[in-house]
């Protein structure tokens, strides 16, 4: 039964729901750029500057995942850490330095980027696969529990931030920090349980399943995407973006 639910979670989270998440990200960006007052040509250029690399990134990771490139020992240099680090190293400075992205964030409610990450509840796939004996508890329990908690809190926190209560911004920042901590912890536990020189835990049940498709799409694509969304949300909250009167998909 645990294996069945794990496969269902993987199919929904890394198959049918992925286009919905990307559509919300790109749709929200388009609305934010429009509300920021950019002219049509500049708005389209900025939007394409995000949409094209984002979709190309997804396509590349998908092809590598389906070719089993992320399996331990499949290539001389571990591919999974690079799949997390490289997008962050390239995209984060560009996004945080972009005046147009900053303008779009200012034009959107701070609740949007928070509520969007309700998809994190699908991290329950790790718990389901642990229950089926396919993932070690040292990795699955902290990764799965943390993701589910962050996802369950996303909408309540988003609504609270949207209310603009006196402590709403602090709560939004705290939620983002919790989400980042969860992802960093999951990555660390993954590195310590995957077969290789760095494996110090789960020696009796190595963390091999996490490198298989479609589950590997979570650490290889969803994790760096979530970290980027957290970074943008923190910037938005730090800039004092106002939520009243903006577009709010939550």
Report the alpha-carbon distance of residue 25 to residue 50 in Å, rounded: 10
- Can you list the alpha helix ranges (DSSP code H) found in the chain? 2-11, 17-35, 40-66, 79-97, 99-107, 111-116, 124-131, 137-163, 168-193, 217, 223-238
pLDDT for 200: 87
55 pLDDT band, cuts 50/70/90, is very high
Say what the pTM is.
0.90
Report the alpha-carbon distance of residue 79 to residue 85 in Å, rounded: 10
Q: Where are the domains of the chain?
A: 2-238
Backbone φ, ψ for residue 199 (5° rounding): -75, 115
Report the alpha-carbon distance of residue 234 to residue 213 in Å, rounded: 31
Which of 208, 73, 72 shows the shortest CA–CA distance to 139? Answer: 208
Among 49-53, 144-148, 202-206, the minimum mean pLDDT is found in 202-206
Among 43-57, 74-88, 143-157, the minimum mean pLDDT is found in 74-88
Count CA atoms within 13 Å of residue 133 on its CB side.
Answer: 2
pLDDT for 17: 80
E-strand spans in 94-173?
A: none
């Amino acid at each position: 039964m645990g294996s069945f639910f794990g496969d269902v979670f993987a199919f929904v989270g890394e198959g049918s729901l992925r286009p919905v998440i990307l559509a919300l990200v790109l749709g929200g960006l388009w609305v934010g750029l429009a509300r920021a007052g950019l002219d049509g040509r500049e708005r389209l250029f900025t939007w394409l500057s995000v949409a094209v690399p984002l979709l190309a990134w997804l396509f590349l990771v998908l092809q590598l995942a389906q070719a089993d490139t992320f399996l331990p020992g499949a290539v001389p240099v571990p591919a999974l850490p690079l799949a997390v680090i490289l997008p962050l190293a390239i995209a984060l400075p560009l996004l945080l330095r972009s005046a147009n992205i900053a303008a779009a964030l200012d034009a959107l409610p701070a609740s949007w980027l928070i509520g969007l990450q309700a998809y994190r509840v699908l991290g329950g796939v790790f718990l389901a696969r642990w229950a089926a004996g396919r993932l070690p508890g040292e990795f699955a329990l902290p990764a799965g529990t943390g993701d589910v908690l962050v996802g369950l809190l996303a909408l309540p926190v988003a609504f609270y931030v949207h209310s603009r209560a006196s402590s709403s911004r602090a709560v939004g920042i705290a939620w983002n920090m919790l989400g980042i901590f969860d992802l960093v912890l999951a990555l660390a536990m993954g590195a310590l349980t995957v077969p290789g020189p760095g494996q110090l835990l789960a020696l009796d049940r190595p963390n091999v399943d996490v490198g298989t498709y479609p589950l590997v799409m979570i650490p290889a694509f969803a994790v760096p995407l979530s970290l980027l969304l957290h970074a943008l949300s923190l910037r938005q909250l730090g800039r004092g973006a106002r939520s009243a009167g903006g577009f709010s998909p939550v």
